[in-house]
Structure 1
């Protein structure tokens, strides 16, 4: 597989061509990926997500699908945002544009995501039980409800990126 995001300041996840998925750690064994005898695999369900983000039931929880394009993706915990690399000369350039991108973003509709705790981001084609043997990022999320919204931003003439922001929602 060609790697667009070389190792650097952030840990990047890439896919073989399909969506990435953030699955709660507690339900990883229930994500079958492209495996399975069913008519539609979990991976097929993830591919049906229309737009930048979608939610899919997994076990007794819900996973977040990062749709649209199979862009290299990282998570910036200090900003609560997934950054999806569409175009940039370097990782340094892309990450330097994130603050401007967040300020300029025209966000799509929000979805509410209930998270039982940490999640693992990986290629949706992989079964959850095999995800630790491939590109993945472990994301330490506190249990709770999050507002998820997405945008595609061009903060510079040569820099395009996708943003998927997680914001904790108040209890109640």
Structure 2
């Protein structure tokens, strides 16, 4: 169903503008250690980081939501859980961030060259996902959903301001 990036040993993912990738060295994310959701700036652009736990992650473009797999037998209930969570109480506001354009979601420890190579090589397991966002200011919100007693996903959604 969804394309998942396998869990990261570094426990940090980064949503980085494609034009910044050639200069990304992977070490920049050390500034956001121990935060589930954070942001940094590079080359005048906002960069979103997802971290604190080495969980697999996917991007759901229709709902502008990142989902991290806490535990589940499979991801068949993910889309219905995200849809149900859309109007749920309990979303926690985390930060506001200016975003827009073509981004790539990848392990924050990977250097830009490795991320670009991954995007070009469809034969290998995915190490990066492309994300396109209309320009604007976004509120990032987090919520943990438990569709049933055997399933849990951590969600981060982007709400246009």
Question: When the two structures are superposed, what TM-score results if normalisation uses the length of structure 2?
Answer: 0.84
1:12 maps to 2:9? no
Deviations 1:72-115 (A, max 9, x none): 11111111111111111112133332223434452222311111
Contact 2:104 2:130 in 1 (8 A): yes
**Structure 1: gaps spanning 5 or more residues:** 1-8, 34-40
Question: Alignment length, in residue pairs?
Answer: 152
Which consecutive segments of 4 or more residues in structure 1 shift more than 3 A?
Answer: 101-105
1:117 maps to 2:109? no
Counterpart CA distance in 1 for 2:111 and 2:104 is 12
**Structure 2: gaps spanning 5 or more residues:** 119-126
Contact 1:122 1:136 in 2 (8 A): yes
Q: Which of 63, 69, 72 pairs up with 1:85?
A: 69
SS of corresponding position for 1:114: strand
Contact 2:57 2:69 in 1 (8 A): yes
Aligned to 1:165: 157
Aligned to 2:54: 70
Deviations 1:1-47 (A, max 9, x none): xxxxxxxx1111124322111001121223210xxxxxxx314224x
Counterpart CA distance in 2 for 1:69 and 1:59 is 27
1:42 maps to 2:28? yes
Counterpart CA distance in 2 for 1:62 and 1:92 is 32
SS of corresponding position for 1:13: coil
Alignment RMSD, CA only? 1.8
SS of corresponding position for 1:132: helix
SS of corresponding position for 2:19: helix
Question: When the two structures are superposed, what TM-score results if normalisation uses the length of structure 1?
Answer: 0.79
Contact 2:7 2:57 in 1 (8 A): no
